[in-house]
Structure 1
Amino acid sequence: MSFQYNESSYNEQELSEINVTPFIDVMLVLLIIFMVTVPISTVTIPLDLPVAKAKVEPNIEKPIVLSLNQEKELYLGNERLLGKDLGSEIDKLTKSKRDTVIFFQIDKRVPYEELMDVMNQLRSAGYFKIGLVGLETDRE
């Protein structure tokens, strides 16, 4: 079998087709990146919360969550507060809006005295709207 190339029969034409193979490769790489990073970004603080039986209402804006775990470590969102002033850290998040609701979740093994200490810090900072967070149903 032989192939002959004839210069006179060759027409130069532009390719009008789009090569989608690189596009598909890039999209698959992005899909893999998102599949890996989403579970990492949803890491939460391990707490054993008590059960609440109240009806859940929808959130309008991003809530400010304050957490106190079994080791008595205080977290604002997912950041641990290490010797920082609780009032000034919440002021940064709320832009000093004192009527913002602070959601406070506490491990059920934390002594009541520790809970009241944090609530007193919130009250002295001017935050009086504090919502206690619990589980919706009892875990079996």
Structure 2
Amino acid sequence: MAAKLSGSGGEGKYQEEQNAEINVTPFVDVMLVLLIIFMVAAPMAAVTVKVNLPPAVAPPSTNPPKPVYISLQNNGRIFIQDFPSDLATLGDDLRSNLGESRNPTKERIFIRADKDVLYGDFMGVMNMLQDNGFYSVALVGEEQ
């Protein structure tokens, strides 16, 4: 903070007034120095060793499998995709929904839960998935 001293005042030889202006000159100086440093350092960070890379010949990938969603409603109902299920038969229903061609231990299961679902109900579903060998679980949230 700076103070301005003036000679004309009735309270003594000098009267102090506050100066509320911000001095941005040092800030601009620091920013310009940093800009110059980055402009000089950026070309040095680039890879300068030339390498002839072989072409990547990979077979075209197949479409990823349809994701499997488990939905939990706030009233305790459980759905796999659009089909109702319950906690006791969740593992069997999930395996039948996946089909024979997909490996259940490597499948990612997406869980959608209402924000008012009880934590105990949610953990019951998570434990049942783990007990049935489904270890790759992703939680789905709404973007804001």
Q: Which has the larger radius of gyration?
A: 2
Identity fraction in percent:
29
Q: Which runs of 5+ in 1 are unaligned?
A: 1-58
Q: 2:96 maps to which residue? A: 92
Identify unmatched segments of 5+ residues in structure 2: 1-62
In 2, distance between residues paired with 1:80 and 1:124?
Answer: 20
Which residue type is aligned with residue 109 of structure 1? D
Tell me the equivalent position of 1:64. Answer: 68
What SS class does the counterpart of residue 98 from structure 1 fall into?
helix
Bigger shift: residues 124-133 or 90-99 = 90-99
Rounded Cα–Cα distance in structure 1 between residues aligned with 2:124 and 2:73 = 14
Alignment partner, residue 82 of structure 2: 78
Shift of 1:84: 5.5
Task: Name the structure where strand makes up a greater proportion of residues.
Answer: 2
Q: Tell me the equivalent position of 2:132.
A: 125
CA 1:110 to 1:126, structure 2 compared with 1: closer, same or farther past 3 Å? same
Partner of 1:113: 120
Code of the residue aligned with 1:135 in structure 2: it is E
Describe the superposition over 1:25-50 as per-residue Cα deviations: whole angstroms up to 9, x where unpaired.
xxxxxxxxxxxxxxxxxxxxxxxxxx
* Higher RCO (CA < 8 A, seq sep 6+): 1
Give me the TM-score of the superposition, normalised by structure 1.
0.52
Deviation beyond 6 Å, 4+ runs, structure 1: none
Residue type of the alignment partner of 2:84: R
Mapped to 1, the partners of 2:126 and 2:88 lie a distance apart of 16
Mapped to 1, the partners of 2:135 and 2:109 lie a distance apart of 9
Letter in 1 for 2:109: I
